[in-house]
Amino acid sequence: MSPPLEPQADFMKFPTVFLALALAAGAAQARDVTHELGTTDVPDSPERIVVLEFSFIDALAALNLAPVGIADDDQRDRVQPVWSERIGDDWTSVGTRKTPNLEIIASLQPDLIIADKSRHAAVYETLGQIAPTVVYDSLTGDYEDMLAVADEIGTALGRAEEMDAFQAGHGARMDALRADVSEQTQGDDAQFGVINANGLWLHSPKSYVGSLLASFGFAPAMPLTGSDSYGELYQKTTLEQLSALDPGLLILGKSGDGRTLDQDWNADSLWQQIDAVERGRLFNVSSDLWSRARGMLTAEEIAADIRDIAATLK
Amino acid sequence: MSDARRPEFPGLRGPVTLALLGALLPVLMFAGLFAGAIPLEIETVVNSLLGRDGPRQDFIVLQSRLPRALLAALAGGALALSGALIQALMRNPLASPKIVGINSGAAFAVLVTAFYIPALPHSLLPVPAALGGLMAGALVWWCAQRGDIDPRQLTLVGLAVGLTLDAGVDALLVANTGPESSAPLIWLTGSLWGRGWTHLASVAPVLLTLAAAALILAFRLDLQALGPRRAAGLGVRIGLERTLALLAAVILASVAVSVVGVLGFVGLMAPHVATRLVGGRHRIMLPTAALFGAVLTVGADTLGRAIRPPLEISAGILTALMGAAFFIWLLIAEDRRILA
Amino acid sequence: MTDLTFSRTGRPSRIRLSRGGMRGAVLTCVLAAGALASLLTGGRDDVGLAQLAGLFAGEAASPAEQTMRDIRLPRTLAAAGLGINLGVAGLLLQAVTRNPLASPAILGINQGAALGIVLGLTVPALAVVPGWLLASVFGLAAACLTFAIAGLVSGRIDSMRLILGGVAVGAIGFSAVRLGYTLEDDIAREVVRWTVGDIADLRIDAALRLLAFAVPGLGLAYLMAHRLNLMAMGHAASHGLGFDPRATLVQGTVLAALLTGVSISVAGPIAFVGLVAPHIARWLCGADHRRLLPVVVLIGATLTIWADALSKLLPQAEEAPVGIVVAMLGAPWLLVSVLRRSGTAHV
């Protein structure tokens, strides 16, 4: 019987139509995204994305989005396995992060470019001529800053809820790893540094790795004072300075393929007397992972390394 | 270089060389539109240039390669002119903008601005560069003036000032090793990466005006070469003309350096090559040097883009290598005429 | 030099030190102060002169004594050695090229060594070769190339060709350094740091190597001192006096190259020492190379030792590389020296 239904159908018609119109309008409209260097009109669901720093790969990998172009310093294996598992191997290298090749980027016909503030501010306008470009600060700051940037990227891509969900899961996994570790680390101080043939660079407590170690319950070996400037976050340290710091646990990321300075220092009694060396609490980790690969997925890998290190402390 | 021994080639050799170089430059620039990380076909390039339908690469051709080629030509020509003027003024075949400390002064000023006044928009960088170059040039000029305006004095003082400023540049680089030093580091190597129409627009008026002024001064410099007394007799005001020429040289080099960085050896090589090609008369040698500098820089930029994509070898690195080869050739050929 | 003057009555009057003696004494005091400053500063707070006793303690030395024995003392000695080698090299080059702005940098060695370092950082096959070896080999190869194209073999060498040769060879290394700037961050930072000169992690072997070259180098230079004096008089005069300026040019340059090569292999290129120390020495005691040599040794060592001390004293957590501090100390001297010359219209 039609009459009882008709008023209902009429009643439902308006919201339906309205909703349909709203959806249509929404799909055609791009969104305004505010970032470090201004505001950009970004398409709703960008599909061809070029990323110019490693932490941006991580944000995309978290959302299972594959970029079409990555600035990988011309070395494909700099892209961590935990990322390439999720984004595949189909991306084109656009060159170094320092000077990404603008022609190659243009030839990929991207609909979104994600760039780093410190490195690419000079070419922001040029990048904008190729495709809508958003800029974030991915190289300074600590672990919390990295999470905040990933959150903003999620919003810029129109996948804010998905990113929130992923970050919640990530936080839970990190907390679980912290719980595993916390009993062994109370009171111990730990220090991370990158070492190659010519020098040792220690990462300060305010750096990315420094803040991660702190969140796992390690005490800092270096003083907490100091600014956020790059020179204070990563300090070249002599053997004498290291022996004055005397960390109880030393984590070294070896950079480069040749000799590293600690091999030369092995003969030095001053090195042997550093607390960490004496007690055998000297650990080697991947410098690529710890010092170059910021992101949530890689933070979980670093956390797994920390858990393995802590397990040997008992 | 003793003026009496500068070669002179009367007749058509000068104008013909000039014409050949003048034709080579646009050909090279056009060829550069095809070469690079993404090799393009003729049809694509032409479509983009003329705005026709069909396969196009508008960004690559119109926003990247074309302005870069023009900027390379302009900067190379400016540096060559600057070098030619300085060599003429200082009568020293080893003189160049670098010798007078201009490059180092401009580099120091640009780095200070980049690191400590980051709010300054990049299109305004020619200003601190010009100021830095002028200050270095002024310091050199003032030091040399205290004795006599002896060209050798100028060289020595310029070297000292340049070395000091270079040390300042090194200190700034060591103190600022973070990612914000990426752009300045690249700039120091003499690179046209990321350069486009805005960069061209910010320097083209100044450079073109000064180039024209330099070419006018070229005629006056020919008279000066006759010696102070005869030149004065012919109505040339030596002090003012030389000062203007030096000023033009300093600003040409500083402004060029501000936008493309330190392109090594162009200012040093181009006058030498031009002299060997067309003789020492400035009214022919200066334009030839400018064209040669332009050709050299456009060639270096194109080569740097095409050699090993996705990497870009800075034009300044290639011009320095070419400079090395040039000097080695000069010495091996034992041509003492130029060196005398 | 003490100079006893007697009054007319034959009784000795006050002993007056001659001006040269005064200057020498002041210089030695400045050097000693610098050595103290260098030995007493560093990462650890507990290291003082008393720890020098640790030199004889062997295994039983405390960490502070080990620091003094293994790190501070060698570093100060190395700094002195660098100053001596580079200062003497600069003096030699300025004398044989008759160019007051000559310095070890003109030989192209700095740039050749830099090329070696950049290759070591970028070519995987060379990554295992120690940096000092790459720097030495490529640096000396560059010097040989400079000599060759300047006409050493053909006998056509003169100071102008030498300088040009250095410029040409130097340009190649210069390109390599600039290329290093454009590569990835770690390589760029290493290249920037190395090209400035750094002695932070030197040990006793480096110091001994420097001194092993310095002592015979100084001796050889002293033997040449008379001829270096004659060089200043120009080619014609030297022929008249019966010695071959070309041979002196070659010997002086080769010696300078060896002294520079060992310095660069240890610490990277340190500019300004070889340029400034001879200037200051000439200002203090004239143009006689027999007197200049010991003075240049003192001044060069003082400059680098003080630079080392200041690099540790400057209020930053990270030590400034010694090359930067040397430049900061040396640049004003250079400008003053050049200004004085141009003021008297006398090159």
CB spacing of C71 vs A231 below 8 angstroms:
no
SS3 of residue B262 by DSSP: coil
Confidence band for A59, pLDDT divided at 50, 70 and 90 = very high
Domain with A256, as residue range(s), is 184-311
Q: What percent of chain C lies above the pLDDT cut of 70? A: 87
Q: What percent of chain B lies above the pLDDT cut of 90? A: 21
Judgement on whether residues A237 and A146 belong to the same structural domain of the protein: no
**Structure-model confidence comparison of residues B97 and C114, the more confident one:** C114
pLDDT beyond 80 at C316: no
CB spacing of B321 vs C182 below 8 angstroms:
no
Contacts of C4 (CB under 8 A, 6+ apart): C12, C15
**Domain assignment present for A74:** yes
Q: How far is A127 from chain B (nearest CA, A)?
A: 9
pLDDT beyond 80 at A4: no
Overall average pLDDT of the C107-135 stretch: 84
Question: Model confidence over B165-204: pLDDT tens digits?
Answer: 888 888 888 888 777 788 888 888 889 998 989 889 988 9
Judgement on whether residues A149 and A189 belong to the same structural domain of the protein: no
Question: Model confidence over A199-228: pLDDT tens digits?
Answer: 899 999 989 999 999 888 888 888 877 777
CB spacing of C63 vs A273 below 8 angstroms:
yes
Judgement on whether residues A150 and A48 belong to the same structural domain of the protein: yes
Range in A17-31, B238-252, C172-186 the model is least confident about: A17-31
Overall average pLDDT of the A262-267 stretch: 85
Output phi, psi for A35, to 5 deg: -135, -165
Class in CATH terms, B11-339: mainly alpha
Cβ–Cβ contact C328 with B under 8 A: yes
Overall average pLDDT of the A248-258 stretch: 85
pLDDT beyond 90 at A54: yes
Q: Which helix (H) or strand (E) holds B294?
A: helix B282-306
Query: How many beta-carbon contacts under 8 Å exist across A and C?
Result: 88
SS3 of residue A233 by DSSP: helix
Angle, alpha carbons B132-B138-B140 (nearest 5°): 105
**Domain assignment present for A301:** yes
Token pair recorded at residue C162: 């030498």
Tell me the C-alpha distance between C103 and A20, whole Å. Answer: 80
ipTM over 0.90: no
pLDDT beyond 80 at B22: yes
pLDDT beyond 80 at A260: yes
Q: Which helix (H) or strand (E) holds A116?
A: strand A112-116
pLDDT in the model for residue C268 = 86
pLDDT in the model for residue B302 = 94
Q: Which of A124-138, B6-20, B254-268, C190-204 has the highest mean pLDDT?
A: A124-138
Question: Model confidence over B290-317: pLDDT tens digits?
Answer: 999 999 999 999 999 999 888 889 999 9
Q: How far is B129 from chain A (nearest CA, A)?
A: 17
Mutate which of A54, A191, A198 to disrupt the C interface (most C C-beta within 10 Å)?
A: A198
pLDDT beyond 60 at C347: no
Range in A282-286, B197-201, C67-71 the model is least confident about: C67-71
* Pairing, β A219-220 against β A112-116: unpaired
SS3 of residue A266 by DSSP: coil
Question: Model confidence over A82-121: pLDDT tens digits?
Answer: 999 999 999 999 999 988 999 999 999 999 999 999 889 8
Overall average pLDDT of the B114-141 stretch: 81
Token pair recorded at residue A272: 């042997």
pLDDT in the model for residue C12 = 46
- Chains near A with 3+ CB pairs less than 8 A apart are B, C
B133 near B106, Cβ under 8 Å? yes
Q: List, in order of start, the domains of chain C with CATH numbers.
A: 44-57+65-341 (1.10.3470.10)
Which residue, A124, A158, A192, sits at the end of a domain? Answer: A158
Q: What is the CATH number for A51?
A: 3.40.50.1980
Q: Which of A140-144, B68-72, B193-197, C316-320 has the highest mean pLDDT?
A: B68-72
The structural domain count of chain A equals 2
Map out the domains of chain B as residue ranges: 11-339
Name the nearest CA neighbour of C280 among C306, C316, C318. C306
pLDDT in the model for residue C6 = 41
pLDDT in the model for residue B339 = 45
Overall average pLDDT of the C48-63 stretch: 74
Question: Model confidence over C147-185: pLDDT tens digits?
Answer: 888 777 666 667 777 777 887 888 888 888 888 888 878
List C residues 99-158 in contact with A (Cβ-Cβ < 8 A): 120-121, 124, 127-131
Tell me the C-alpha distance between C88 and C274, whole Å. Answer: 7
Name the nearest CA neighbour of C318 among A240, A242, A236. A236
Range in A261-270, B27-36, B254-263, C230-239 the model is least confident about: C230-239
Overall average pLDDT of the B31-56 stretch: 86
Question: Model confidence over B200-243: pLDDT tens digits?
Answer: 998 899 999 999 988 888 777 676 655 555 555 555 455 677 77
**Structure-model confidence comparison of residues A14 and A279, the more confident one:** A279
**Domain assignment present for A23:** no
List C residues 187-246 in contact with B (Cβ-Cβ < 8 A): 188-189, 192-193, 195-196
pLDDT in the model for residue B292 = 93
Question: Model confidence over A154-175: pLDDT tens digits?
Answer: 999 989 999 999 999 999 999 9
Question: What value does the mean pLDDT of chain B take?
Answer: 81
pLDDT beyond 80 at A186: no
Q: How far is A299 from chain C (nearest CA, A)?
A: 21
pLDDT beyond 80 at C307: yes
